[in-house]
Amino acid sequence: MSAVLLYSCAYTPQDGVPKPLLPPIAPEHVGRKCLVLDLDETLVHSSFKAVQQADFIVPVEIEYHWHHFHVLKRPGVDNFLKQMGEIYEVVIFTASLSKYADPVLDKLDIHRVVAHRLFRESCFNHKGNYVKDLSQLGRPIADTIILDNSPASYIFHPNNAVPVSSWFNDPHDAELTDLIPFLADLTAVPDVRGILDGVR
């Protein structure tokens, strides 16, 4: 995948006024907290190489050549997304390029619960890492949670993070399913940082 570094318009606005990465909250999500989910190795694993029993295959054009990504869904991801979509404003925030992540999400989000999609151009490049700066979303930081397998992604907001292990192909993994009751409980707390501060 191309390593071109793109910076979010939130950091280089045309008129000098910072613009949130997300639009105003939709009426159906008013009163909900914002759950930011990583994609690769958190919800799915993708490979250039053919994978036995891939859940789906996504063709992507990269530098004038077509590549086929073989995508495996993490166990429990369908139910996880469905349940999270009923209680959160769900945002997918990935450091991947949209040309890959968009078609993956088209196939992954079978219940159509993902409210917003953010890609590499919305990340902040910090010391060679793609950081997901939650303060740029336009949502109250006390009501924002990020679920990500890479601690570097949430280095600016560690107290908003629910760490998750990297997933590649373990069919017995139950981490997403196990997190559902914990994340459901977080919807009722006044400031998620007070709870997540001790999670790591």
Active site residues: 38, 40
Q: What does the chain come to in residues? A: 200
**Rounded Cα gap, residues 113 and 47, in angstroms:** 25
Q: What letter does residue 134 receive in the DSSP assignment?
A: G
* Contact by Cβ (8 Å): 101, 84: no
Single out the residue of 152, 175, 129, 132 nearest to residue 34, CA to CA: 132
* Contact by Cβ (8 Å): 34, 87: no
Tokens 């601690």 identify what position?
151
Angle (nearest 5°) at CA 121 between 116 and 127: 125
